[in-house]
């Protein structure tokens, strides 16, 4: 991939302007006045070292910002279907109606950070070395790998229910935090977090009832189908796995879903025992 060479002259000029603005340059030097002065060598060496360090940190900060991965935004405008998205790390997100998710095209930093407005179910791929972080209006959610439901509104209201695993929820203002485990519910009301047991364990099931996929690879769609059913769907052919599809499912019936896929892409469907095989005809 072509990458534009850094404009070091532009960066040095920006650094010089900042030093001049902060009154860290000699007045005569800032004005460009030339005259001879007897400056001890160790002062010159110290000044060069300081400028070098400042330039290093400035350039590193300047270009690290430009290396941030491309950010994407996904919004579910469908009032009837849950929009399902599989992220770069393999995590599956079920976006409810009117929910918006912002996420990087590729996770390249030390944390897998996304932001959410609205309601969504997260099934996060486990990666202890790169925690998954969800930014909302008032709190930050940090996990390693688990499944949980989040509801975050623009006015700061927040609710989270954990299906499995453990989640840490931290208030942005104040830094107070709670660890929430499977079967627990936490909400943010009155500017503080409150935790209690989940009353209805079926709150996680309806997300798979009416799923919609947008420009999603067939391999990822089948992965989600397998996550929500006892039967197993197998795709034969690497090219077929990468085929992209826009599709809506009106229930979580594995036979109906695989029939819709095969009809949409003109594929072959064969059932052997508890396994459904999909291939080119």
The enclosing domain of 172 has a CATH number of 2.60.120.1440
Q: Is 14 left (phi over 0), alpha (psi -120 to 50) or beta?
A: alpha
pTM: 0.73
Greatest Cα pair distance in the chain: 92
94-110 pLDDT, tens digit per residue, is 999 999 999 999 998 89
Do 162 and 182 touch, CB atoms closer than 8 A? yes
Q: Is residue 1 part of a domain?
A: no
Identify the pLDDT of residue 166. 93
- Beta carbons of 172 and 179 less than 8 angstroms apart: no
Of the three residues 151, 181, 204, the one that is the final residue of a domain is: 204
pLDDT of residue 259 exceeding 80: yes
Query: How many CB atoms within 10 Å of residue 249?
Result: 23
pLDDT in tens, 54-90: 444 444 444 444 444 688 999 999 999 999 999 999 9
Q: What is the pLDDT of residue 39?
A: 47
In a domain, 79, yes or no: yes
217 and 274 assigned to the same domain? yes
H/E run at residue 102: strand 100-104
Domain identity same for 173 and 112 = yes
Where does a domain end: 143, 172, 204? Answer: 204
Whether residue 116 sits in one domain with residue 58: no
What is the number of domains present in the chain?
3
- Write out the residue range of the structural domain in which residue 57 sits: 8-66
User: Terminal CA-to-CA distance of the chain, rounded, Å?
Assistant: 37
> Does residue 35 carry a pLDDT above 50?
no
**Are 148 and 161 in contact, with CB atoms under 8 Å apart?**
yes
255 and 190 assigned to the same domain: no
Query: Is position 153 within any domain?
Result: yes
């Amino acid at each position: 991939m072509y990458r534009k060479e850094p404009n070091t002259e532009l960066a040095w000029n920006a650094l010089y302007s900042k030093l001049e603005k902060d009154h860290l340059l000699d007045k005569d030097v800032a004005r460009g006045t030339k005259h001879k002065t007897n400056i001890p060598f160790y002062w010159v060496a110290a000044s060069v070292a300081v400028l070098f360090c400042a330039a290093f940190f400035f350039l590193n900060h300047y270009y690290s910002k430009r290396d941030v991965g491309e950010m994407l935004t996904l919004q579910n405008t469908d009032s009837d279907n849950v929009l399902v998205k599989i992220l770069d790390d393999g995590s599956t997100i079920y976006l409810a109606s009117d929910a918006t998710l912002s996420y990087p095209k590729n996770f390249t930093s030390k944390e897998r950070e996304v932001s959410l407005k609205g309601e969504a179910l997260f099934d996060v791929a486990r990666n202890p070395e790169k925690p998954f972080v969800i930014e909302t209006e008032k709190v930050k959610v940090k996990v390693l790998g688990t499944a949980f439901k989040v509801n975050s509104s623009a006015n700061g209201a927040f609710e989270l229910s954990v299906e499995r695993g453990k989640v840490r929820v931290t208030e942005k203002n104040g830094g107070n935090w709670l660890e929430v485990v499977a079967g627990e519910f936490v909400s943010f009301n009155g500017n503080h977090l409150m935790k209690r047991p989940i009353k209805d364990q079926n709150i996680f099931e309806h997300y798979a009832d009416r799923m919609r996929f947008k420009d999603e690879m067939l391999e990822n769609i089948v992965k989600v189908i397998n996550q929500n059913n006892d039967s197993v769907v197998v795709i034969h052919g690497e090219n077929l796995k990468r085929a992209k599809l826009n599709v809506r499912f009106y229930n979580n019936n594995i036979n109906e879903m695989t029939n819709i896929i095969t009809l949409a892409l003109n594929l072959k469907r064969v059932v052997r025992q508890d396994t459904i095989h999909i291939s080119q005809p």
